[in-house]
Structure 1
Amino acid sequence: MFRILLISALVALSMGAVPRGLPIRPMLDGRIVGGEDADIKDLPYQLSLQSDGWHICGASILSPTRAVTAAHCIYGASESTEFTVRAGSSFRGSGGQISKVLRIYQHPAYNPSNFDYDVAVLAIEELTFGTGVAAISLHKPNEELAVGTEGTISGWGTLSSGGSAADHLQVVKVPKVSDDYCQAAYGSITPRMTCHGYEEGGKDSCQGDSGGPNVANNELVGIVSWGRGCASAGYPGVYTKVADPEINEYITYHM
């Protein structure tokens, strides 16, 4: 099911861009780069998006029947029934609630060559809200975070680029950088993207964190998308910008 995803990832790799999903079934044991163990009770909107029981990406709860992830996490999938989400557990492989993905709404303008419009809404079997399971509000359209605002990134991604991934949920905080800084780093940033990270590197999202949340002021401000390596100096993480009017409208329409 991931043949097309792998092809698009190879195209991206040739340009130095690395999607932050896990399109294959690796042996997993590590964490977000520079992060620490987290409790799902503190991040109740966090989901593990799984294929045949294997964690491939993160996602965020929007309502009992809707979640949001990155388009590249499900790009090329033949049908939604291949996917489930795990909610309410700090561990990607056990506990919590398992919900089937019933339908996928991938943004029609998603571009796998540069990860523009990297967003997909998932219709899921209804979750029971409670301890460790809750929705996150969306950042309002056209609202800009101030440079330096910390975003909280969480997921079961890798310790380093190409490394192994976490069994226990990890969390890290990284500041927003200016659009000019990000554009200078990559030269391919679109209005649908926003960047968080440290100039010196050291803390970041990584492979396996794709589709997961970037939260500031109790709102979903970004969706983990791509970057050059992970936590590399001079290359912040790139996130789908929830406040972009086109992204925000698409998510809201399918809620």
Structure 2
Amino acid sequence: MFIEWIFVISSVLLASAGWISERIVGGYQVPISEVPWQAAILLNGTAKCGAVVYSDKILITAAHCIPENKSDISIRVGSSTWNNGGQLLQVDDAEVHKDYSSTKDVLINDIAVIRVKGHFKMGHSVSSIPLAESTPESGSPASVSGWGAVGHSQKGSEHLLQTTVNVVSQEDCQKSYGERITKSMICAAAQGRDSCSQDSGGPLVSDGQLIGIVSFGSSCADPNYPGVYVNVAELKPWILRAIEKLSCLCAGKV
């Protein structure tokens, strides 16, 4: 998932600890019209992460999906396949959470906002999704989608996949990961179903709202370790400030 040296180092550390960035396991194919907020981040033309459409110019993703050289990434929306169709735009700028940090066993404040050059044409295959106002209760059903690997150490999917999971309480998630799990994270799991690598930055959706951003986990669909996501409701104030900042910078260019 990482090409720039800092991202290579981060992924080696994660792998050495048995931790990896997330991808879809136990999923099924869906047309982009069912998840029109889903976007693909391409690094030098190759699928690397997912992202979430916020507007015709702004997307939300994971901080670890943003390389040092932002001009290396482009965004594809409106297609069920990451490598063709839909609309492809270059990235103009990105704002990464100032307190983002990556260690060998956890990603903290793993959130970023992207602004593209130009505008996406919105429609049935490209649309935004509301940000959650509050963290859903434990057991709430949710869906996660992406083009990531279909299993640990397996290849990614060319076609968009989706699967269903259930929100796991912070207390239960801490039983797996310890106190590294904070209020800025939300966990979700289901037997044989999970997000997996290259799904990072993609959407976790419940009741028509974006509740999480795919972040990290231990293996894929490991029954002892839920997937860990950025808690959108908790970090919503930062997300909105970042969007406002990028929008103001954009307006200043006109």
TM-score (norm 1): 0.90
Residues 1-255 of structure 1: pairs in structure 2 closer than 5 A: 1-20=3-22, 32-74=24-66, 77-113=67-103, 114-125=106-117, 126-140=119-133, 143-187=134-178, 188-198=180-190, 201-244=191-234, 247-255=235-243
Deviation at 1:12? 2.4
In proportion to residue count, which structure has more helix? Answer: 2
Deviation at 1:78? 3.0
Deviation at 1:13? 2.8
Helix, strand or coil for the counterpart of 1:8?
helix
CA distance in 1, matches of 2:31, 2:109: 30
User: Residue 235 of structure 1 aligns to which amino acid in structure 2?
Assistant: Y
Deviation at 1:131? 2.0
Deviations 1:151-172 (A, max 9, x none): 1100001011121010000000
Deviation at 1:16? 3.0
Residue segments in structure 1 that go unaligned for 5+ positions in a row: 22-31
Contact conserved, 1:155 with 1:170, CA < 8 A, in 2?
A: yes
Helix, strand or coil for the counterpart of 1:11?
helix
Contact conserved, 1:19 with 1:72, CA < 8 A, in 2?
A: no
Contact conserved, 1:179 with 1:195, CA < 8 A, in 2?
A: yes
Q: Percent identity?
A: 35
Deviations 1:189-242 (A, max 9, x none): 1221110002xx300000010000001111110000010000011111000000
Helix, strand or coil for the counterpart of 1:254?
helix
CA distance in 1, matches of 2:184, 2:17: 19
User: Residue 44 of structure 1 aligns to which amino acid in structure 2?
Assistant: P
Helix, strand or coil for the counterpart of 2:176?
helix
Contact conserved, 2:38 with 2:50, CA < 8 A, in 1?
A: yes
Helix, strand or coil for the counterpart of 2:193?
coil
User: Residue 173 of structure 2 aligns to which amino acid in structure 1?
Assistant: C
Helix, strand or coil for the counterpart of 2:102?
coil
User: How many correspondences in the alignment?
Assistant: 237
Deviation at 1:132? 0.3
Deviations 1:3-53 (A, max 9, x none): 1011112222333321237xxxxxxxxxx2101000100100000000111
**Cα root mean square deviation, aligned:** 1.2
CA distance in 1, matches of 2:73, 2:198: 15
TM-score (norm 2): 0.90
CA distance in 1, matches of 2:131, 2:120: 19
Deviations 1:118-170 (A, max 9, x none): 00000113111012000111111xx2211111111000010111210100000
